[in-house]
Structure 1
């Protein structure tokens, strides 16, 4: 049976892909249209998810703090001005990097120790960090749903249970 962390990450990728597919069906201008919300646009929200996923990949790969911080800066620069299709490619490439890393791990429940200059030391497990990445994405996909509705369009359901039903139907 597939480890829960791998299944959760697969759900994260599935839900992101649902949003990209849905956004491509909507009027192109809503992608960068300014809106009064948590983020100023759908593009900015997607960029935030990408940047944060990039940072957390560095964390789970046990890069040092300076490397992780630099990866976030580089990801922020890389997302600037990207259209929906370019950002989708970037998400796909990042998800492949995650999958390569996670599939190469022998113990997804292995202990990890994080050190942050502001928050201090945290003893946790790799699987908990994967869950954090997924939860963060879910939270901001909720923002996207609200933003799309504010712009007068229906959103797309991405609840985990829908992923499980879809996955079950394919198996």
Structure 2
């Protein structure tokens, strides 16, 4: 498996673990207000999803305007979704990512991004995948910290656990 695809697979695996963990806890904590980086666990989950949408759009050469339009559509579409509905939406969307990544001739190909505030960036698709995964890791950490504030343990989503699980064929 290509390193970038493996990293994205880890990202999906870790997010699945978060969904599964949250489903084991009392349902009301998903929307419970908390003083933290985000106002609720729901907000973090939605943020993670919408950010993944943005980056797939950017990797797919959509314009800033197209990305903003899709971001708005997803914002409306995901509003007030239950945890189970969010998981279903996310898993379906992750298949689009896998399709995109698997259909690339070269994930180390150069990519030019243009942003109205940040300017132009010369990068590679593989670096964008790494960014998506890194962003997800950061916010899964937020989820764990928020859960601890609410009196619950967080899920274990370290990359090494992914490697062990994949090695064992689970």
TM range (shorter): over 0.9
Residue-by-residue CA offset, 1:64-110 (whole Å, 9 max, x unaligned): 11111111111111111011000001110110000011011110110
* Partner SS state of residue 170, structure 1: coil
- CA deviations over 1:6-60 (Å, ceiling 9, x no partner): 0000000000000000001000100000000000000010000011001111000
- Aligned mates of 2:121, 2:11 — CA distance in 1: 24
TM-score (norm 2): 0.98
**Mapping 1:17-36, distance limit 5 Å:** 17-36=16-35
Aligned to 2:131: 132
Aligned-partner Cα distance in 1 for 2:103–2:78: 28
1:1-150 to 2 correspondence within 5 Å?
A: 2-150=1-149
In the aligned structure 1, how far is the partner of 2:147 from the partner of 2:78?
A: 20
Task: Tell me how far apart the structure 2 counterparts of residues 161 and 70 of structure 1 sit (CA, whole Å).
Answer: 37
- Report SS of the residue matched to 2:154: coil
C-alpha distance in 2, partners of 1:128/1:75?
A: 24
Q: Structure 1: any 5+ residue segments left out of the alignment?
A: none
TM-score by length of 1: 0.97
Q: After TM superposition, where is structure 1 displaced by more than 2 Å over at least 4 residues in a row?
A: none
1:97-155 per-residue CA deviation (whole Å, 9 max, x = no partner) reads 00011011110110000111100110000000011010011100000000111111111
What RMSD, in angstroms, separates the aligned Cα atoms of the two structures?
A: 0.9
Q: How many Å separate the matches in 2 of 1:89 and 1:7?
A: 21
Take 1:35 and 1:149, find their aligned partners in 2: how far apart are those partners?
A: 11
How many residues align? The count is: 170
- For residues 136 and 75 of structure 1, the distance between their equivalents in structure 2, rounded to whole angstroms, comes to 19
Q: CA deviation at 1:158?
A: 0.2
